[in-house]
Structure 1
Amino acid sequence: MEAREISIVVAEDHALVRQGLRLMLSVEPRLKWRGECGDGERALELVRTLMPDVLLLDLGLPLLDGLSVMQAITAAGLPTRVLVVTARQDPQSFQAALAFGAHGYMLKTDDADALVAAIRTVADGGYHVSAELAGLMAPADVEPVEALTSRELDIASRVGSGLSSKQIGVELGISEHTVRKHRENIARKLGLRNAAELVAWVVRHRLPEA
């Protein structure tokens, strides 16, 4: 079966960066460029009207910053998934983006192949955090690997590979509901707020891919 098309909107305040992304992504057969903008208010408007699968979002936008855009998307219950693409590498921006519901966080210094892979992962229900950024979670913020059971470690590693709960359930022969319960237990034990933070934890602890 042919993979489904992924619609994309890009919110980035530098026109040259937008043009570069458009040229780069236009050669990818699964990706469909739906729109672009240079400020946060327009980004939110495009998400509401076009309902793209993925919003590539810079944090430093004028009029409405990236965190506020994510907050509005979540509050409105919009289905668009958000992949942050930014130059910011500070722990405050990284952790705030994850807390506000980002499904991925990448640096503008990451290469094109990594970005395309991240878009596909996020669009298919998974999460992606650049390996370079995962270390920004302070060691004191989370419990050690030993806090998890072998089954929880297995599921955590699969989440870290970008798999959704449904995909993990199929691979392990268990229900999606059971996977979600395991993930809730993992998050409670580790003090994490969402799947993107779990991905960052997996990368930081260098868990092997399932």
Structure 2
Amino acid sequence: MTARPTGIRIAIVDDQALVRTGFRMVLEAEPDFSVVGEAGDGAAAIELARSTAIDVMLMDVRMPVVDGIAATAAVTAAERAPRVIVLTTFDLDEYAFAAIRAGASGFLLKDVRPHELVAAIRTVHSGDATLSPRITRRMIELFAGELPAMPGAARPASAMLDTLTPREREILVAVAEGLNNAELAARFHVSESTVKTHVGRILQKLDARDRVHLVILAYEHGLLSSHGPSSEQGPSDDRR
């Protein structure tokens, strides 16, 4: 009888077998990591996600049959979908950025250091993103006008944005500006635990995957370009 994998279940998707082997060696050195599958193209990755319980999928971008962008969109659209980390050779790969818009939680360069890869997987598994909001916003500014809209990537209705309190709207904009929890706490004169509560509510109300998704939503809805100190809301309190 085969033992059930424990810990974080990971799948590796890349069209180069040597790359998959290298990642597997790094990941299997971690006692709480289990590599539960591999795929050499996007179509195989989609099938793997359907047939196997996976927590985090490492996804190459440029692959035969089905590329990583389309595969990411299909994988993340499924119920109980794994988190996807996009792998790219270039740090300014617009295709990798398109995959993030398709549902990935971040991207890593293929020459990532082993400890950084491990840390990124743990971060994504915990529900956060591997890409800082500041980098994400720069990414969107550079490429959003050039990237094709992904099928099924619906923008939230204005009514969803209207469910945010004035303070939550301000925090959304601040998150999109790249502030981390400590910086948010300092700006709004609240504790980091209060910040986490606000961010959690914003994620829930906007049906967002993570902070990276919040940056994208804020940008797409023009909240960054129109926002300035005391714009729309004026001085805010912490009302809910």
TM bucket by the smaller chain? 0.5 to 0.7
The 2-side partners of 1:131 and 1:152 are apart by 11
Shift of 1:112: 1.1
Which of 206, 215, 219 pairs up with 1:191?
219
3-state DSSP class of the match of 2:31?
Answer: coil
1:82 paired residue number: 84
Shift of 1:95: 2.7
Alpha-carbon contact 1:58-1:66 (below 8 Å) kept: yes
Alpha-carbon contact 2:12-2:38 (below 8 Å) kept: yes
Alpha-carbon contact 1:40-1:63 (below 8 Å) kept: yes
Alpha-carbon contact 2:173-2:218 (below 8 Å) kept: no
**Higher RCO, Cα 8 Å, sep 6+:** 1
Which of 28, 33, 45 pairs up with 2:35?
33
Please report the RMSD computed on the Cα atoms of aligned residues, expressed in angstroms. Answer: 3.8
Q: What are structure 2's unaligned runs of at least 5 residues?
A: 1-5, 145-168, 184-190, 209-213, 222-240
The alpha-carbon distance between structure 1 residues 180 and 61, as it changes in their structure 2 partners (threshold 3 A), is same
AA aligned opposite 2:23: L
Aligned residues: 177
Alpha-carbon contact 2:182-2:192 (below 8 Å) kept: no
Shift of 1:28: 0.8
Higher relative helix content: 1
Alpha-carbon contact 1:91-1:137 (below 8 Å) kept: no
2:24 paired residue number: 22
Shift of 1:86: 1.6
2:64 paired residue number: 62
Larger radius of gyration: 2
Shift of 1:136: 3.7
Tell whether 2:156 aligns with 1:153. no
Shift of 1:80: 0.8
Alpha-carbon contact 2:56-2:125 (below 8 Å) kept: yes
The alpha-carbon distance between structure 1 residues 27 and 171, as it changes in their structure 2 partners (threshold 3 A), is same
The alpha-carbon distance between structure 1 residues 131 and 106, as it changes in their structure 2 partners (threshold 3 A), is farther
* Higher alpha-carbon deviation: 37-46 or 132-141: 132-141
Alpha-carbon contact 2:133-2:175 (below 8 Å) kept: no
Q: What are structure 1's unaligned runs of at least 5 residues?
A: 142-147, 162-168, 194-210
Tell whether 2:75 aligns with 1:51. no
The alpha-carbon distance between structure 1 residues 91 and 61, as it changes in their structure 2 partners (threshold 3 A), is closer
The alpha-carbon distance between structure 1 residues 187 and 106, as it changes in their structure 2 partners (threshold 3 A), is closer
When the two structures are superposed, what TM-score results if normalisation uses the length of structure 1?
A: 0.68
2:141 paired residue number: 138
The alpha-carbon distance between structure 1 residues 188 and 78, as it changes in their structure 2 partners (threshold 3 A), is closer
AA aligned opposite 1:18: R
The 2-side partners of 1:181 and 1:73 are apart by 23
Shift of 1:65: 0.7
Shift of 1:150: 6.4
Identity %: 31
Shift of 1:132: 11
2:235 paired residue number: none
The 2-side partners of 1:43 and 1:140 are apart by 26
3-state DSSP class of the match of 1:84?
Answer: strand
1:144 paired residue number: none
The alpha-carbon distance between structure 1 residues 80 and 159, as it changes in their structure 2 partners (threshold 3 A), is farther
When the two structures are superposed, what TM-score results if normalisation uses the length of structure 2?
A: 0.60
The C-alpha deviation readout for 1:66-108, integer Å capped at 9, x for no partner, is 1111121233334211011121433521331121011111111
